[in-house]
Amino acid sequence: MPARHRSAAATLLVLAVAGAALVGCSKKSDGSGTSADGGGPVQVTAGDSSCELSRTTFPAGHVEIAVRNKGSKATEVYVYGEGDKIITERENIGPGTRATINAEIKAGSYEVACKPGMAGDGIRQKVTATTGAGAAPAKSDARLDQAVADYRKYAQEQADATIPVVEQFAAAVNAGDLEKAKSLFAASRVGWERTEPVAESFGDIDPKTDTREDALEAGQEWTGWHRIEKSLWADGRIGDAEKQLATRLVADLKDWQKRVPQAEITVTGMANGAKELLDEVSKNKVTGEEDRYSHTDLFDFAANVEGARQAYELLKPVASENDAALAEALDGQFESIQALLAKYRQADGTYTSYDKVTEPERKTFSGAVDALGELLSKLAVAVVVK
């Protein structure tokens, strides 16, 4: 997993410089025509050491955030609620590129964070979503209300199904059974990977369960799946430390399971979450970084795609009505990428070890993921109630 979610567990960062303008954060417009008090999208102009917002107060409801990265590094933009709960995000915004984030944001206080280099707590600015004269009355569609309810049910089912497999994995580790533990590692992650944006929205769970070694924040203890993965494959051993880590992993994932009913799930959050799952594939699975010791990346890859498709299928009745061409293209691209994955699925249900996948094959995967991700970036707009 990338460092973006490791920072979500950090305490809220208040940036202030006495008697001077905040370094890198101001209320200036980026020249796109949106004034500090005007309507339209909230403009975010990101740089290598800056994060400028066109305004810090906007009406609650459907909010469009237009991001422009003027820096030399890829960046991420987050909207955080209380306790660094992720309200919405967009990853991997390349230098010189733009991105649009659509989200449903309730009235309240938040922080917008730009993360140049996609690491750390980010450069933050406080913002407020207001009710009142500026806020448009909420529109609803019973089909979308049902989609949210069904997706919450799906997220809960995935969490519930994960726990027994993780318990089996932990039992194998605690028994010192190296080969059995290896055989259960990938399966124990499927439910998490299918609904990762929901799990990550809580902020504090993901850093404990799914952190890679190179994504650790300063002073952070390395725990979770990938710490155990390294011991099983790279070190070839199970000691007392690994047994304790396995037991802790079960406890942390039961915490996730218990919190799913509290997750903030919205229509645009579902659409953005589908895009985030493809970003995960692009940044970590296709590169082989995610499961670098076990090479079980294709299991995670497939689960991410399955989770993204589930969110899309629930939103499809409205998306196809508002943008039939987009829905048709998404149908085709999902079929293509799942057919591509099927070529690497073995008779026993496992996937080819990713270290056996050649560079040309990885480029094919990358192209398919990028094509699907580009289409999914348009889904949030397609499900806005007209």
Q: Are residues 276 and 319 in the same domain?
A: yes
Q: Are residues 206 and 123 in the same domain?
A: no
* CA pair distance 315, 322, nearest whole angstrom: 11
Q: Are residues 35 and 152 in the same domain?
A: no
- Inside any domain, residue 239: yes
Q: List the structure tokens of 282.
A: 């692009």
- Inside any domain, residue 225: yes
* CA pair distance 74, 99, nearest whole angstrom: 12
Domains contained in the chain, number: 2
Pair 108, 131: CB distance under 8 Å: no
Pair 71, 47: CB distance under 8 Å: yes
Q: Are residues 321 and 356 in the same domain?
A: yes
Pair 261, 154: CB distance under 8 Å: no
Q: Are residues 118 and 257 in the same domain?
A: no
Pair 261, 156: CB distance under 8 Å: yes
> Of the candidates 104, 130, 156, which is a domain's last residue?
130
- Inside any domain, residue 136: no
Q: Are residues 111 and 149 in the same domain?
A: no
Least Cα distance to 276 among 386, 194, 362, 385 occurs for 194
Q: Are residues 104 and 30 in the same domain?
A: yes
- Inside any domain, residue 69: yes
Q: Are residues 212 and 291 in the same domain?
A: yes
Least Cα distance to 61 among 141, 129, 127 occurs for 129
- Inside any domain, residue 137: no
pLDDT for res 110: 93
Whole-number CA gyration radius for the chain: 21
Q: For position 199, which CATH number holds?
A: 1.20.1420.20
- Inside any domain, residue 148: yes
Q: For position 70, which CATH number holds?
A: 2.60.40.420
Least Cα distance to 189 among 330, 351, 18 occurs for 351
> Of the candidates 79, 106, 130, which is a domain's last residue?
130
Average pLDDT, consecutive stretches of 10 residues, N- to C-terminus, the chain (386 residues): 41 32 37 46 94 93 91 91 84 88 89 90 92 60 95 98 98 98 98 93 89 87 97 97 98 96 92 92 90 97 97 97 97 97 95 96 95 94 82
- Inside any domain, residue 135: no
> Of the candidates 69, 103, 130, which is a domain's last residue?
130
Q: Are residues 83 and 160 in the same domain?
A: no
CA 78 to chain centre: 11
pLDDT for res 139: 66
pLDDT for res 11: 33
- Inside any domain, residue 45: yes
Report CA-CA distances (Å) from 6 to 180, 220, 313.
29, 9, 30
* Residue 121, domain extent: 3-130
pTM, 2 dp: 0.80
How many residues appear in the chain? 386
Q: Are residues 181 and 286 in the same domain?
A: yes
Q: Are residues 125 and 182 in the same domain?
A: no
DSSP bridge pairs for 123: 114
pLDDT for res 147: 97
Q: Are residues 214 and 238 in the same domain?
A: yes
